[in-house]
Structure 1
Amino acid sequence: MTDILKAISNIITNPVPDILNHYQAISNNRINAVGDALEEYIKDAFADTINEDDLRIRADKHSQTFSWLGNQNNPPDMILKNGDAIEVKKITSLKSQIALNSSYPKNKLLSSDPMLVSDCRNCEDWKEKDIIYIIGVFKKHKLNLLWMIYGNCYAANSDYYTRIKNKIKDGIKEIQEVEFSETKELGRVNKVDPLGITYLRIRGMWGIDNPMNVYDYLNLDLDRKKNDSCFQLTSIIPEDKYLSLISQNSNTLQSIKSGNLQVSKSSIKSPNNPAQMTDVRIISHVK
């Protein structure tokens, strides 16, 4: 079974400087966006297929690795078989905010989430999964910075988000002389015009601050002005999760022969209560 440590190992040992050109060549130019290429790269990192150019073999290994592969309209982007969920985001500026669209940030992925399609809920027998946010920062077509952060290090419990969402949704429904219908979004107004043929969808567009701003107090070496042509990977993993992964794959990171790889203990502010600190492991690599 694969996990984030194996993916990190594959990314470090199999660098792909120009992700878009790499995946355009593999796919015969069917991939034409950097965001799509990043998703393929992350799939390959977990499936150990970064250097596999046979599309049939790659597809077979992806099928063995993932129980769910979604799309832009059906989060999450991936679910590892009997493992974590993964959400991949692409930005083009070091400090850009992260657009999450209609889904609020998640500390865990729940099968009861109304935003999930039934195929995702039924892809395996599950109720709750850890979720990894993977954020790639690009300069042109080159991947400069890759964050791999567990949701419970980044987002608060779902109650904080659903409470606000429900208050807005309930407030909209109280508007007089407007016909509403049930929806997964914040609201839908029917029969806006005299013919009753126009409707209005009211959607929430969620976003979250850049990890560089969120974790600025950790003094991570992320001053890209020093050398913006290098590649840096930074992963933040809860301590208990890290120890669990290491117990299963003790040699995954130790086998990497790179002096640029560092694994350190640290503490971050709890997303649910900044007055409390949460123990984490930070994995970093610069090349």
Structure 2
Amino acid sequence: MTYTLPARAFTDVNIRHTVNYTAFQKRLFQKAPGFLAYPSWMEGEWQVSCRFIGADFPSSAANSNPYVPRERIAADTSLPGFRRLSIAMVPDVGKDHDFRMRFLRPNVEGIGTGEVREDKVFNLKQALESELGKAAVTNIDYNPAKNPNRASLALLPGSSPNAQRIELFWNARSSLPSPPLETDTTTGPSGSSSGSSSSSQDVFRFVEDIRQVSLTPQLAETSSVGDYRHLWEFYHVGPESIKTYLSTVAYTTPQGPLFQAAGLQPLVVYFHTLTMRRLARRA
């Protein structure tokens, strides 16, 4: 089963490609992931406009196996994305939001030098505070030299009823080959002839599997656990511009009410586009 993302989601370039769900079955036992090197054209700080463009329920399609009715999926509020803050990088899935992202070449012993890395602390804080308001994130405990796959985020008391602390565990992370792009060479975004396309060097794709544990100030049994996968697809469309598709796949957990019916299959997929504009470098 595939989902075709619309070219009109982008304003600077027409790009069509499909998301194939057959590769989205959840994996249980995996080797701890290592660092991910980003392309050099992503280095720097970016102003990001994130826009929600839709959702899909692959397990409720007529030809899906197993089949889970959409009504049953929609009733399970424990699934990532159905509650605010249940997906850290898109804290309110259906709401558009603006924030900043940063990618650096760290010079820190233990995590390598010379390669572009994501500034996870900065990016997570920016994404969450774009929804909760400034100063909502009081601390992010993340030491990539010690463990690049765990982060603990503390939120200002009262900033959200859904969490005061968020624990993130990255269980998988890997880059993907660039797909063939079906670009519209007849008409550009304004209807004029374009004839241009992106090369494989201008595309960067990767997936990361995340377990998120959200804890409230009450008793521990009020905590919630969610498993989801991000598929990031970055398209370098100009020296100061990146267009991005973000597909987020939500799964049930073994403790969830749908696990017996759905198992490891994706239940919901959320689609966002991100327009990234490079900020001026500081002198």
Higher strand share: 2
Higher relative contact order (CA 8 A, sep 6+): 2
Rg bigger for which structure? 1
Give TM-score scaled by structure 1 length: 0.30
